[in-house]
Structure 1
Amino acid sequence: MLKAFGSVRARAALGATLVVAVALVAAGVAVLQVLQGHLRNQAELKAQVAAREVASRLATGTAFDRLDLDDDPPVQVVDDRRRVRAVSDDLQALTGTGSTSVKVVTVPPAPSGDEDDDDDDEAEELGPGKISTEVRFVTGTARVDGKSADYRFAVVDVATPRDEEATVYAGAPLAAERGAVRTVRQAMLIGLPPLLAVVAAVTWLVTRRALRPVEGIRREMAAITASTDLSRRVPEPASRDEVARLARTTNETLAALETSVERQRRFVADASHELRSPIASLRTQLEVGAAHPELLDVDGAVADVVRLQRLAADLLLLARLDAGERPPPTARVELARLVREELAQRTGDRLPVTVDALAEVAVAGSRGQLARVLGNLLDNAQRHAATRVRVSLRAEGGQAVLAVADDGAGVPEDQRERIFERFVRLDEARTRDDGGAGLGLAIARDVVLRHAGSLTVGVAAGGGALFEARIPSL
């Protein structure tokens, strides 16, 4: 069971069901409250009409004992001393009003200076009484003809023409209100479970259908992991939703991973090949020197060792770059000073290096790695130049542009990206190479990329190749 609720489908169905349940319960409570308030307002209106009708009769001079309350709802009239002066017929018990008694108290009329006992004439002479505009409401119970029920009583104060103060309580039954609320509540309780079941089922089915492509992606990824075949791709749905974008991103990741693995395999194979030659040559020379010391080519052995050392250093730098090593972001490198210092150390170049204008521009990065970029570009230019090599440095569009140009044959346009691949040497370069492994330009581009820049090759002004390294300046 725990495993079932661990799936996305189960959690989505459960979450949707809970949300709908909370919403329905809240809506049901609101409906019940509105319904209850509406029915109570109707009961209060009915009770108010009855109470004002009785109060109007008292205000027009009708005596308490002459109130005809046969057809009225439960009515009780009490005076200012809380004495019951009138009640409706068949009323047997009462609570919540001015008095719990239903027995009428007979009070003799106050003496009058007028000997005429005609009540109609007396009322006419006394004039109308007063009815309070304020209506209060209380809830109580009443027993009529042996049946007890809850009532909503309207309370109206009245003053008779004889200056007698009284309070009228007239009730309206709450049975209709409570019956309607009970019926609606039962209907909600009966209908809620099936509705929630439908919501859960629909959510389960919709979620399962929506996640079906994800399951296909998962199965294919598991198969790729098991087979280690990175050329396989996950199925991409025809839709344009998040699952389709996930599939496309996954395939892009697989393609990048395949390219990286293939590049690593070629790198290992090429490195093994490049290392095999100087190691074999060095071993041969040492074996000959051990057998015939007079035949030992010391200069050749030293050259092979130097070549091995350079190749090992290049491979180590590439390994660090592949591992994601980045230059320190706060290190400031003055490129003009770096160019002058590096050129001063190059004493064995085949051709002289001409320095054009050097702008005073600084970048953030590693001085050693940027020096390696300049050195590799100069080494490449020395191998291909016919008569001269030129270096310049300028600031352009928020970037420092380090340019190295030669007057050699240049780089064919269709080879301008290939020369930056590792262990790639063009045929013409191989014939003139003095032992390079084809890593210089690859290292230079990787270093520049780690410095958030770019390295490109084009055509120099006087012919030949023009390499430009662009790095954001400070």
Structure 2
Amino acid sequence: MKLTFLNTLSMRIFALFWLAFVLLLALIFLLPYFDARIYTELGNEEVSGYYGEISTAIRNKQLAHIISGVPVIPVDKFDGIHPVLADQNGNILGARKEEIAPIQQFMYHTSTTLKPLKKNFYDIQIAGPFTVHLNLENDVPYMLYFVSRVNPQKEILSYIFDRPYILILFIMLISTPLLWWLSRSIGRPLRHLQQAANAVALGNFKVDKSLETQGTIELRQVGQSFNRMTIALEDLLSNQQTLLSSISHELRTPLTRLQLALALLRRRVNSSAEIARIEKEAVRLDEMINDLLLLSRQQLNSHILREIFPITEIWHDIIKDSRFEAEQKKLSFKVKQLIHKPSQYYLNGNKGLICSAIENILRNALKYTHSKIEATIFVEDNSMVIAIDDNGAGIPTSEYENIFKPFYRIDEARTRETGGTGLGLAIVANVIREHQGKVWAASSHLGGLRVVIKLPLWISE
């Protein structure tokens, strides 16, 4: 992977932060220059130009005409600059009607200024004040202002400048695309990584090479490390399960020889308690190897063949068979199906494995109960729950978690009496975990043991 400094996550965040900061700073400093309505000082060249206009107005007696009340040129005939006078009492002379209000506002804001200013009022620009002495009888100075027509500022700009919250929205409009692009460039690869992690959790160890090509350098490196971890996990599980399977297969050879030797021995001598005991233990060993091979095959097959099917297909045949077996043993078998319209609920998984797990628990209940079994089926938290209770002797509370461990047996004497290899519930737990479900043991209200299976329902998006 070629390391590009500008494509690192830290550099991208740093660069975009400062880019947004500089743009906002530039906006703050430049916006006042686009607002022609603010009061700004006249430059030296502008002041010189206006003094030239004053000299021309005095020479042409334009100011004297204003004081004497000569009518002002109509607006539609006026394109250039014209002077306006204001006496010490604030009376405005030589102004048109529509110019009086802007001039009064300008006079109010420039009454204490030392330098002449200018400001735009829509399509009117006012500059001043300039002090002039017209050498009249009282020699009272007048304040002189120049009024000119300018292109009106765009209404949208005036609207924005008059409303600060519009500026805030404008700033957000500038920064939002940058931040959205940044969050997308980070979030999209992370979501992709999350999907890959969920796939691994479901037993899919397929390497996704796109994790190493999308996003920033850091995220690509994380994707590369994740793929290496996925490969290592697959190799570890495969080696472990292959070893377990190989050991189980290798055990069959001496076991077969032992069974043949027992058969020959039984022909030569009469059956004895010792030979019967050896045969019984050989049968148990054979069952244990079969269960071990079954567990190994289930764990090795990470990519479980799944289908979507109604939940009713899970318990229909199993309960029918269990009820028949209970009747043969003269046991009470009660089923509480508490799901309203169960046909509208579905599961996504391997139906055969799930049925086998439930059947395993029911057979345990049939084996250890005294007289009564109860199966309760209901929906809770978008999951199907099957609880199986019996009124047997039960087990100590401290053993509730241990019974799901491989080869774990609570009572060796009871194991010899009822059979079993200690792998049945371990296989059940493995199947349920493969389907993202839960299985646990608890005390039953019937007095014995309760085993609960909880499987997530399939919800169509």
TM-score where L is the length of structure 1: 0.45
Which structure has the greater CA radius of gyration?
A: 1
TM-score where L is the length of structure 2: 0.46
